[in-house]
Structures are given as C-alpha cells and as structure tokens.
C-alpha cells in the first residue's frame, strides 16, 4: 500500500537537482507544489557528488534539498545512489568495470557499467547505503527507499574472472560437485567434460553453440548475483529504517532478471514504462507489463516509477506524445492497479546524455503544454485519492516464466523466428479485447482461486507444479496449453517421451515433432465448421492419447492430424493448441474455454475501448474506461447511476469517449 508513503496516489518524478544551481531548486519546489507533486525520487545518480573522493562523504547539498522538500511538503523516495559508481572508483579499481563475452572491459564515462560481483563495488555501495540510511533515518522528508536503478539495464551479463569464480561457487552450491555440473550440462557430448573447477567458465565467446545448459545456469546465476546486490542494500535499509518500504524499479518485458524471484525480496513493486507512441502494439504491451507488475506484487498496488512526459531519446526515432497521450498512459497505469504516477524526470536537462529526453517541466518552462498537462493530471489524481489502495480481481491466470524465456530462445533453439514473449502476449491481447481481467502467474503461484489458467510456451516445467495443476484441473479448473510447452525439466533436460512432458496425461496428447515455419508461410486449420483458419509460424505433430480432437490441420505434412484437442479430467478440462492462432480464431479457441469456466468480461465495449475495475478497501468499485486511438466511441454502461470519480457528476448510460480518452466512474451501489 502506498498510504504509508504519501496520501492518495503518489505523483512526481526523478529529481536530479545536482544539475542546477540552488536558486533553481526553490523554483522547482514552487512548481512542484503547483503541479501537485508529492513524491520525488532523489539522488539516483548522485554517488560521485555524495562521495567525491574515496571515503569522503559530503551530504550537505542533499541535506539542503531534503530540508526544502520538507518545507514544501514533498516526500522523498530517496535513492541509495549506487546506480553509477564514481569515476575515481573505476580508475583506481579497474576490476570494478564489467567485461563482455569477448573479454573487452567497459570504460567509464556512461553509467551503470559495474561488475555485479565486484567486491569493490559491493563494499562501496554498502558503505554509501549505510551512510545515507543513518544520516536520513529520522528526516521528515524520507518516505521510502529507491535502491540502485533499473538493475541490469545496460550491462545484463558480466563475463569477467571475478564472475567466473563466483559462478563456480554458485554451481558448487547447486550441484555439490563437478560431477553434478557435468551431468546437468551434458558435457559427455562434444568433449566438454570438466575435470577441474578452474576449467569452468562463463559462456564466453567461442567457436560454435555454447552449451545451452551452461547458459541457462549462467542466466540464473547472473540474475541471482544482481539480486544479491539489491538484497545487500535492502538489508541495511531494513535494519536502519525498519518501517520504510524499499523498492527498485523494474523494466518492461525485461528478459535478463527473473522478476518472480526478485519480487519476493521487494516491499513494493515499481517499474518504468516507456510505450513507443509510434508502435500500435505499445498500449497492449504496456497493459501486459502493468498486469505483470501487479502480479509480481501478489496483486498489491504497484508504483509507476517512471514514464516520459513526452519524447524519450533512446530509440532510433523518438516520437512525441501528443496532447492527452501522457494522461492516457497515466490512467492506463491506474486502471491496472498502480498507486503512483511518476516520471523521468522532473526538470529537463540542458546538458548531458538526456538533454533531449522530455521531462515534467520541459525546456519550454511552466507556460508549456506539457507542464499544463502535468498540472491538470496532478489535480485529477488528487481528486481520485480515494482510489489509492484499491485492487483488481482476476479469474484468469496467464503463465509467464523466465526460465522458459531463457531456455526457449537459446542459439540452439529450433527456431529464431518465434520470440518467447509473442506467445503470452497474443493470448493476453485476446483476453484484453474481451475485458477479462488477468493476472500473470508462475509455477510457484497459488493458483487455486483461478478458474482458467493459460499456459503459453511454458517450455520449462518440473513434475511438481505439473502435479499441482492436475489437482487444480480435477477440481474444475480449465487449462489452456499453448504450443512449445513442457519440453524441459528444471535442470534443462528434455522430458523423456516427448512434450508436454509431465502434462501429457493431463492433456491427453503427445507431441512427436514440431514444424517451425519461415516468416510469411501460412497453413490451414479446420474446425469442422466450414471456416478454415489461416495460421503461421509454427505447427506441431501431435497425437491424441485420450483427448478429443477439436480441430485438424487441413494441408501440408500434418494434413488430417490433430491441431486442437480437449481432455476432461475430474471436473475440469485441458485444451491443447498446437499452433499459434490469430485473434480471429479466438471465438473458437478462447471463448469456449472462458464459457466452460464461467468467466465473462467486465463489459462489452467497442473496439479500442478497454474496461477495468478497481475494488476499493471500502468495497466500492470504480470502472475505468480507456479509449485507444483517434476518434470517438460510445460505451453503453450496464445500468444507470454511474458518476464521474473526478468531478462527482452523473453520467448518462451511454458514455461518449474521445481520442485517447480515459474516464473513471463510481459504480452505483
Ligand atoms: C530509464 C532510467 C532513467 C532514464 C530513463 C529515460 O528508465 O531509469 O534514469 O534514463 O530511462 O527514459
Ligand atoms: Zn564480473
């Protein structure tokens, strides 16, 4: 909950006052007050200014900023300042810098280029964290902690000798001895046997395929190494300020960290959202990420820690946000369960790497369109304060799994033309078009309360979660299995007998072979209803072993073979879809599943209009309506008596929404 941080929703952004003279700080405070800012993320990249020489700390300027914040009634999401080590550290201790897979060491001059296993970095970060925590523990502006920044944003994997040594320690802990490593990595093949720990390396640059099991373990090891950086800082913060929440900001659809594992360690989930205004898919991807973030926090409200008020500067082409788009994105976040709308950054830089990145207060100043949009939004959020803390209820769970992402996209994979995220995303998209709220789940989630589980490309699954799924289905759950599911066990070994491995009896099918297709190739699937379906990318040779066949392949090498099956077990059912259906097939694939499970959408809306519901701590529910794209749509509300949650006015039963509009309505009691 956000209520121990600020009142109502949090609104503000990254504040980097070290770029400005102190007279500008006063102006900042006044304008923040005018905009309704109540929280700033402070000091994220301030290490060099807070520790200008090794061991000499200077917090005087930050004291003045913190005191000003108190004076102007703004809270600090204070950073531990460890996101970018100072140059003196990189120069004096070159081993602090990360090394790439070809052995090339990074140079300072940008940011976040440290090796996650560097003891020098770790020692410096811990010291800074402790100094800051002790110094500001009792400061009235301090409301929460922001550890580091977007861990692994720039350097996802370090391949240096320190990391190699730590990798060996990690492996020894996991496998006990070298035999375990040899066994798990299948090193009997290609003459890869390790006879001494010193031979074991990160998957560095080499002649051909690197060992996939070694890579999978390295992915896990790196995610764990970086996580241990977070945990080290968090432990210090919890010790010194036990009542304050600690976060670190996640990134959109980010492959390199196992966020499920990370989320267990984080007090409040926060993330940074940068939908590309030029990409028509960005609203759905953004919605997906919001739902993932809420799900990582077990349904608790999360923080939108950063978004852009306008353009970014890190894409090849950086589209502007036209009037209304930033408000749309903000309401989109709220509609998925966010309790904070924050930005990078408060005031637009004049110099440096982000001088062309937008900000809440742009170069054009307080008279700008952007600043007036910010101010208006601040006022709206204030009017909506009562919604803070409200939750989303979902009956559908969608599996999202980092092991599966890593393992199914190796260089040894059967296709490079079918990225992992496309699979969960396209199921998500169809659920969203039906206004069916959805949570992301992992094999560890308690999924007993869901009516439907969708398992898209759960490439890695162990026997244990599979047996939990069996009892869930027996008790009435409806499971929808997508293609490329359950190939490997948790050690990265192929399940004997074929996919879907431990789910084979539940699904009543066996996958014999798969047929990845080059982009642009299509094939036909027959549902026996006279409407053959054109599909692309991927198809599977499956055999029904107890399952009923609902659709067959209608051409090509699999002609006549099953394409979609259904298998009943106890009170539930498992459907297997062995290709990737487009949205046009969902009335024959997804709808029957939802119907069987008794799941209905929140509301019928015209295309491009999305509905969401947040249920308050007081039990009152609010309906969000968001309209994507240009134009106007009329939405018919189920009953009369809705009122606008911002201004309290009655709304008619037919509500007209304009371009990129967003409304929040109080539902009648
Ligand atoms: C990331 C970082 C910020 C800033 C923004 C710019 O999200 O966390 O420091 O660089 O990108 O979009
Ligand atoms: Zn390293």
Give the CATH number of the domain where residue 559 resides. Answer: 3.40.50.880
Q: Is residue 378 part of a domain?
A: yes
Tell me the CA distances in angstroms from 295 to 264, 301, 398, one per residue in order: 11, 9, 10
Same domain, 254 and 327: yes
How much of the chain exceeds pLDDT 70, in percent?
A: 100
HEC readout, 597-628: HCCCCCCCCCCCEEEEEEECCCCCEEEEEEEC
- Overall pTM > 0.85: yes
Same domain, 580 and 507: yes
CA–CA dist 615, 579 (Å, integer): 37
Parallel, antiparallel, or unpaired for β 621-627 and 609-615?
antiparallel
* 305 pocket-lining for ligand 1 (C-beta < 6 Å): no
Index of the ligand 1 atom closest to the CA of residue 150: 8
pLDDT tens-place string over residues 584-643: 889 999 999 999 999 999 999 999 999 999 999 888 999 999 999 999 999 999 999 999
CA–CA dist 645, 624 (Å, integer): 10
CA–CA dist 389, 614 (Å, integer): 9
∠ Cα 564 565 566 (to 5°): 140
Question: How far apart are the CA of 288 and the centre of ligand 1, in A?
Answer: 20
Cβ neighbours, 10 Å, residue 297: 19
Same domain, 475 and 617: no
Q: Are the CB atoms for 551 and 557 separated by under 8 Å?
A: no
Nearest CA to 507 out of 555, 460, 469 is that of 469
pLDDT at residue 386, rounded to an integer: 94
Nearest CA to 499 out of 590, 558, 410, 578 is that of 578
pLDDT at residue 180, rounded to an integer: 98
Same domain, 554 and 411: yes
Q: Is residue 426 part of a domain?
A: yes
Q: Is residue 530 part of a domain?
A: yes
Q: Is residue 95 part of a domain?
A: no
Return all residues near 240 (Cβ < 8 A) that are at least 6 apart. Answer: 130, 133, 134, 137
Q: Are the CB atoms for 620 and 613 separated by under 8 Å?
A: no
Q: Is residue 589 part of a domain?
A: yes
Q: Ligand 1, atom 3: nearest CA belongs to which residue?
A: 344
* 146 pocket-lining for ligand 1 (C-beta < 6 Å): no
Instruction: Tell me the average pLDDT across 127-148.
Output: 98
* 175 pocket-lining for ligand 1 (C-beta < 6 Å): no
* 309 pocket-lining for ligand 1 (C-beta < 6 Å): no
pLDDT range class, residue 254, cuts 50, 70, 90:
very high
**How many domains would you assign to the chain?**
3
Question: How far apart are the CA of 268 and the centre of ligand 1, in A?
Answer: 19
Q: Is residue 446 part of a domain?
A: yes
Whether residue 86 is predicted with pLDDT greater than 90 in this model: the reply is yes
Instruction: Tell me the average pLDDT across 169-190.
Output: 98
Tokens of 411: 């260089």
∠ Cα 472 473 477 (to 5°): 90
Same domain, 440 and 560: yes
* 272 pocket-lining for ligand 1 (C-beta < 6 Å): yes
**Final residue before a domain boundary, out of 547, 567, 597:** 597
pLDDT tens-place string over residues 188-231: 999 999 999 999 999 999 999 999 999 999 999 999 999 999 99
* 258 pocket-lining for ligand 1 (C-beta < 6 Å): no
Q: Strand, helix or coil at 440? A: strand
Index of the ligand 1 atom closest to the CA of residue 149: 8
Q: Which of 150, 271, 349, 352 to mutate to test the pocket of ligand 1 (most atoms within 8 A of CB)?
A: 150
Q: Is residue 602 part of a domain?
A: no
Tokens of 443: 């094999």
Parallel, antiparallel, or unpaired for β 548-553 and 562-569?
antiparallel
Question: How far apart are the CA of 282 and the centre of ligand 2, in A?
Answer: 34
CA–CA dist 85, 111 (Å, integer): 8
Question: How far apart are the CA of 162 and the centre of ligand 2, in A?
Answer: 5
Question: How far apart are the CA of 623 and the centre of ligand 1, in A?
Answer: 31
Beta bridge partners of residue 626, listed in sequence order? 610, 662
Q: Are the CB atoms for 325 and 331 separated by under 8 Å?
A: no
Nearest CA to 4 out of 392, 389, 390 is that of 389
* 77 pocket-lining for ligand 1 (C-beta < 6 Å): no
Q: What CATH number did the domain enclosing 620 receive?
A: 2.60.40.1180
Read off the DSSP letter of residue 133: H
Q: Are the CB atoms for 38 and 12 separated by under 8 Å?
A: yes
Q: Which of 47, 326, 353, 354 to mutate to test the pocket of ligand 1 (most atoms within 8 A of CB)?
A: 354
pLDDT tens-place string over residues 59-70: 999 999 999 999
Whether residue 83 is predicted with pLDDT greater than 90 in this model: the reply is yes
Same domain, 430 and 577: yes
Parallel, antiparallel, or unpaired for β 302-306 and 270-272?
parallel
Whether residue 355 is predicted with pLDDT greater than 80 in this model: the reply is yes
Whether residue 163 is predicted with pLDDT greater than 90 in this model: the reply is yes
**Final residue before a domain boundary, out of 352, 387, 422:** 387
Domain range for 330 = 2-85+116-155+246-387
**Final residue before a domain boundary, out of 362, 387, 412:** 387
pLDDT tens-place string over residues 371-397: 999 999 999 999 999 999 999 999 999
Q: Which of 153, 247, 306 to mutate to test the pocket of ligand 1 (most atoms within 8 A of CB)?
A: 306
pLDDT at residue 622, rounded to an integer: 97
Q: Ligand 1, atom 5: nearest CA belongs to which residue?
A: 344
Instruction: Tell me the average pLDDT across 503-530.
Output: 95
Same domain, 378 and 527: no
pLDDT at residue 157, rounded to an integer: 97
Tell me the CA distances in angstroms from 663 to 9, 447, 548, 622, 642, one per residue in order: 16, 32, 45, 10, 11
Tell me the CA distances in angstroms from 223 to 147, 217, 351, 422, 434, one per residue in order: 16, 10, 33, 22, 35
Whether residue 26 is predicted with pLDDT greater than 70 in this model: the reply is yes
Parallel, antiparallel, or unpaired for β 538-544 and 548-553?
unpaired
* 271 pocket-lining for ligand 1 (C-beta < 6 Å): no
Question: How far apart are the CA of 98 and the centre of ligand 1, in A?
Answer: 20
* 306 pocket-lining for ligand 1 (C-beta < 6 Å): yes
Same domain, 356 and 409: no
Q: Are the CB atoms for 77 and 146 separated by under 8 Å?
A: yes
Index of the ligand 1 atom closest to the CA of residue 308: 12
Averaged confidence pLDDT in the chain: 97
For tokens 């009335």, the residue is 587
Q: Are the CB atoms for 617 and 390 separated by under 8 Å?
A: yes
- Please give the full DSSP string across 259-300, using - where no structure is assigned: HHHHHTT-SS-EEE----TT-TTHHHHHHHHHHHHHHHTTT-
Q: Ligand 1, atom 12: nearest CA belongs to which residue?
A: 312
**Rg (the chain; Cα; Å):** 26
pLDDT at residue 541, rounded to an integer: 98
Q: Ligand 1, atom 11: nearest CA belongs to which residue?
A: 344
Q: Are the CB atoms for 309 and 322 separated by under 8 Å?
A: no
pLDDT range class, residue 284, cuts 50, 70, 90:
very high
In what helix (H) or strand (E) does residue 79 lie, and over which residues does it extend? Answer: strand 75-79
Q: Which ligand is nearest to the CA of 356?
A: 1
Index of the ligand 1 atom closest to the CA of residue 353: 10
Residues designated as active site: 150, 306
Q: Which ligand is nearest to the CA of 166?
A: 2
Question: How far apart are the CA of 168 and the centre of ligand 2, in A?
Answer: 13
CA–CA dist 197, 596 (Å, integer): 54
Cβ neighbours, 10 Å, residue 113: 19
580-598 exposure pattern, b = at least 16 Cβ within 10 A, e = fewer:
bbeeebbebbbebbbebbe
Return all residues near 329 (Cβ < 8 A) that are at least 6 apart. Answer: 273, 275, 286, 307, 321
Tokens of 367: 């008279």
Tokens of 142: 């301090």
Size (the chain), residues: 669
Same domain, 322 and 257: yes
Nearest CA to 453 out of 442, 461, 463, 462 is that of 442
pLDDT at residue 324, rounded to an integer: 97
pLDDT range class, residue 582, cuts 50, 70, 90:
confident
Same domain, 298 and 326: yes
Q: Is residue 430 part of a domain?
A: yes
Cβ neighbours, 10 Å, residue 319: 16
Same domain, 341 and 293: yes
Instruction: Tell me the average pLDDT across 308-328.
Output: 97
* 150 pocket-lining for ligand 1 (C-beta < 6 Å): yes
Same domain, 655 and 518: no
Whether residue 114 is predicted with pLDDT greater than 80 in this model: the reply is yes
Question: How far apart are the CA of 118 and the centre of ligand 2, in A?
Answer: 6
Helices within 416-536 (DSSP H only): 422-433, 463-474, 504-507
pLDDT range class, residue 3, cuts 50, 70, 90:
confident
Q: Strand, helix or coil at 639? A: coil
Q: What CATH number did the domain enclosing 323 receive?
A: 3.20.20.80
How much of the chain exceeds pLDDT 90, in percent?
A: 97
Q: Which ligand is nearest to the CA of 110?
A: 1
From the centroid of its chain, how far is CA 160?
A: 28
Question: How far apart are the CA of 586 and the centre of ligand 2, in A?
Answer: 46
């Amino acid at each position: 909950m956000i209520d121990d941080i600020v009142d109502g929703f949090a609104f503000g952004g990254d504040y980097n006052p070290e770029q400005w003279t102190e007279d500008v700080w006063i102006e900042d405070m006044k304008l923040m007050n005018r905009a309704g800012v109540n929280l700033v993320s402070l000091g994220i990249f301030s290490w060099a200014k807070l520790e200008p020489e090794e061991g000499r700390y200077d917090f005087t300027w930050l004291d003045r900023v913190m005191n000003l914040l108190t004076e102007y009634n703004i809270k600090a999401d204070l950073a531990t300042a460890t996101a970018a080590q100072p140059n003196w550290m990189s120069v004096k201790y070159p081993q602090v810098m990360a090394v790439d897979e070809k052995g090339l060491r990074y140079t300072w001059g940008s940011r976040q280029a440290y090796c996650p296993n560097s003891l020098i970095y770790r020692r410096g970060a811990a010291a800074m964290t402790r100094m800051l925590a002790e110094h500001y523990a009792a400061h009235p502006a301090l409301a929460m902690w922001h550890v580091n920044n977007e861990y692994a944003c720039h350097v996802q994997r370090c391949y240096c000798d320190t990391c190699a040594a730590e990798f060996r320690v990690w492996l020894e802990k996991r496998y006990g001895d070298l035999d375990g490593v040899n066994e798990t990595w299948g090193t009997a093949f290609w003459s890869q046997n390790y006879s001494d720990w010193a031979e074991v390396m990160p998957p560095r640059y080499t002649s051909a395929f690197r060992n996939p099991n070694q890579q999978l373990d390295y992915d896990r090891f790196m995610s764990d190494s970086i996580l241990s950086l977070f945990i080290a800082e968090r432990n210090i913060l919890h010790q010194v300020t036990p009542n304050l929440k600690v976060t670190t900001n996640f990134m959109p659809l980010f492959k390199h960290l196992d966020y499920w594992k990370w989320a267990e360690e984080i007090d409040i989930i926060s993330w940074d959202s940068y939908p590309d205004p030029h990409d028509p898919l960005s609203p759905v991807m953004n919605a997906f990420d919001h739902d993932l973030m809420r799900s990582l926090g077990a349904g608790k409200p999360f923080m939108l820690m950063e978004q852009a008020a306008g353009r970014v500067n890190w894409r090849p082409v950086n589209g502007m946000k036209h009037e209304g788009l930033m408000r749309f994105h903000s309401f989109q976040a709220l509609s998925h369960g966010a309790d904070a709308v924050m930005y990078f950054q408060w005031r637009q830089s004049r110099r440096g790497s982000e001088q062309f990145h937008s900000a809440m207060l742009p170069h054009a100043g307080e008279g700008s369109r952007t600043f007036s949009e910010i101010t208006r939004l601040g006022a709206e959020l204030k009017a909506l304060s009562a919604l803070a803390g409200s939750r989303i209820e979902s009956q559908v769970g969608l599996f999202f799994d980092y092991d599966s992402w890593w393992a199914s996209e190796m260089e040894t994979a059967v296709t490079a033309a079918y990225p992992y995220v496309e699979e969960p995303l396209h199921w998500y998209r169809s659920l969203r078009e039906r206004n069916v709220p959805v949570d992301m789940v992992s094999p560890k989630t308690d999924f007993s309360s869901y009516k439907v589980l969708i398992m898209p490309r759960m490439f890695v699954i162990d026997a244990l979660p599979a047996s939990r799924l069996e009892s869930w289905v027996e008790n009435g759950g409806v499971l929808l299995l997508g293609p490329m599911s359950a190939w490997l066990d948790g050690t990265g070994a192929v399940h004997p007998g074929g996919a879907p491995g431990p789910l084979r009896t539940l699904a009543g099918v066996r996958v014999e072979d798969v047929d990845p297709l080059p982009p642009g190739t299509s094939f036909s699937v027959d549902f026996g209803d006279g409407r053959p379906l054109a599909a692309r990318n991927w198809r599977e040779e499956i055999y029904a072993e107890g399952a009923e066949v609902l659709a067959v392949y209608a051409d090509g090498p699999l002609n006549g073979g099953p394409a979609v099956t259904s298998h009943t077990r106890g009170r539930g059912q498992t459907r297997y879809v062995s290709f990737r259906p487009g949205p046009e097939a969902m009335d024959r694939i997804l709808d029957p599943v939802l119907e069987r499970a008794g799941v209905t959408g929140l509301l019928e809306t015209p295309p491009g209009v999305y509905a969401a519901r947040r249920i308050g701590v007081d039990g009152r529910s609010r309906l969000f309506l968001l309209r994507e794209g240009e134009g106007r749509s009329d939405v018919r509300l189920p009953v009369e008596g809705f009122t606008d949650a911002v201004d309290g006015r009655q709304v008619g039963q037919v509500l007209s929404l304009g371009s990129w509009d967003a409304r929040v309505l109080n539902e009648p009691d």
